[in-house]
Amino acid sequence: MPSHSWLLLDRESPRYRLPDDLRAHDPMAGHDCGWVEQMLPFVRQFSRPGDTVFDPFAGFGTTLLAARLEDRLALGCEVDAGRIDLIRERLARHELAHGTTLLHGSCDALDDAALPPFDLCLTNVPYFGCRWTGAPSASQLYNSQSYAQHLDGLRNVFHRVRAGLREGGACIAMVENIRLGDRVLPLAFDLARILGSLFSMEDERVLVYPHESDETDADTRTDRRHEYALVFRKQRERIDLQGTADLLDALRAQGHAFTLFGSFVRWQQDPQSPPPADADIRVDPDPQRLDALLQYLRDQGFALTSWGDPVPLPIHFDSYRGRYYFRADRIDDQGALIRLDICYEQ
């Protein structure tokens, strides 16, 4: 793949295009099908022959076909049974059905026995507002009733992706911001925030599609002239170790009660052990003390989040029960990161 930040996709090769007869069988007439050409450069750059490429929203198997064309194993989840059959038929026509595993359903419902580990996750996410007309399914994200529910569904899926992705593997999501009614929804940017709470951001590519006509989607008025490929990686964050130790000292000096545990303690006891990716502290679940601690951190320039969502102060503690921890991140003007995970539940 070229090293510049955009990828111009001229035309879809008729050789790999979803065949018209298969398109005709689909409730959305294959309207949401991507291009093999779009996926190939990412398969080549972010995986090796023999690796497993996973698409949690397999759709018509475009990613899976690109993976098989490059001698990777293909693994896909798709919530619509009709599309699973369609993928099988499409890959069989290319004589590439072997080396492919198709799972029916949403990956967040699958345990480790059902979903084998994979080396690369490469996908096009379902768009909010697409109005699915096929067989109903509670996990079908095309049918999300609200934008917030849609983002929650995406978060659940990518949370599961993180668990199945091998350490060091890339998670790449293709997505654009969408026009819905008379507003623009920043789906690409909201998804980047969700992925940023699960992985480390590595890169972005803008995929550009020169269109000959002015056709747009009647419902969402999204014409896919460009989209983002958001490139994230599952890896331990490098943190500012001295800055973290200084922060912990400052918290003690300010009278904030906490117990330090986990990898930061282990590294302090044995500096030859792997460097920690954060500092975990345990605190009493006392709303007033938590507020004081979070307020102090915010005053020091920390961003406060709970599972990727910003945390407004003072906290409404009850709404965070069951979420276990707050995250406080501070990135300085040199790019150095201090990350504190504040656990208030076991």
Ligand X SMILES: C[S@@+](CC[C@H](N)C(=O)[O-])C[C@H]1O[C@@H](n2cnc3c(N)ncnc32)[C@H](O)[C@@H]1O
Binding residues (CB under 6 A) for ligand X: these are: 32-34, 56-57, 59-63, 77-80, 83, 106, 124, 126, 139-142, 157
Nearest distance, CB of residue 77 and ligand X, angstroms? 5
Q: Which residue is nearest to ligand X (CB)?
A: 59
Residue with tokens 């990686």: 233
Nearest distance, CB of residue 320 and ligand X, angstroms? 25
Nearest distance, CB of residue 109 and ligand X, angstroms? 9
Pairing relation of β-strands 52-55 and 118-124? parallel
Nearest distance, CB of residue 74 and ligand X, angstroms? 12
**Burial tier of 253 (Cβ tally within 10 Å: 0-12, 13-18, 19+):** exposed
Other Cβ atoms less than 10 A from the Cβ of 221: the count is 14
Which of 84, 279 has the CB closer to ligand X? 84
Which of 60, 302 has the CB closer to ligand X? 60
What are the structure tokens assigned to 10, written together?
Answer: 């001229």
Nearest distance, CB of residue 195 and ligand X, angstroms? 16
The span from the CA of 206 to the CA of 191, in Å, is 15
The span from the CA of 249 to the CA of 95, in Å, is 62
Residue with tokens 């890959």: 91
Which of 32, 329 has the CB closer to ligand X? 32
Radius of gyration of the chain measured on its C-alpha atoms: 22
Helix (H) or strand (E) holding 253: helix 241-253
Which of 33, 207 has the CB closer to ligand X? 33
Q: If we measure between CA atoms, which residue out of 34, 30, 37 comes closest to residue 11?
A: 37
Which of 34, 129 has the CB closer to ligand X? 34
Nearest distance, CB of residue 177 and ligand X, angstroms? 15
Nearest distance, CB of residue 181 and ligand X, angstroms? 20
Which of 93, 266 has the CB closer to ligand X? 93
Helix (H) or strand (E) holding 228: strand 226-233
What are the structure tokens assigned to 6, written together?
Answer: 């955009």
DSSP string, 256-313: ---EEETHHHHHHH-TTSPPPSSEEEE----HHHHHHHHHHHHHTT-EEEETTEE--S
Nearest distance, CB of residue 33 and ligand X, angstroms? 4
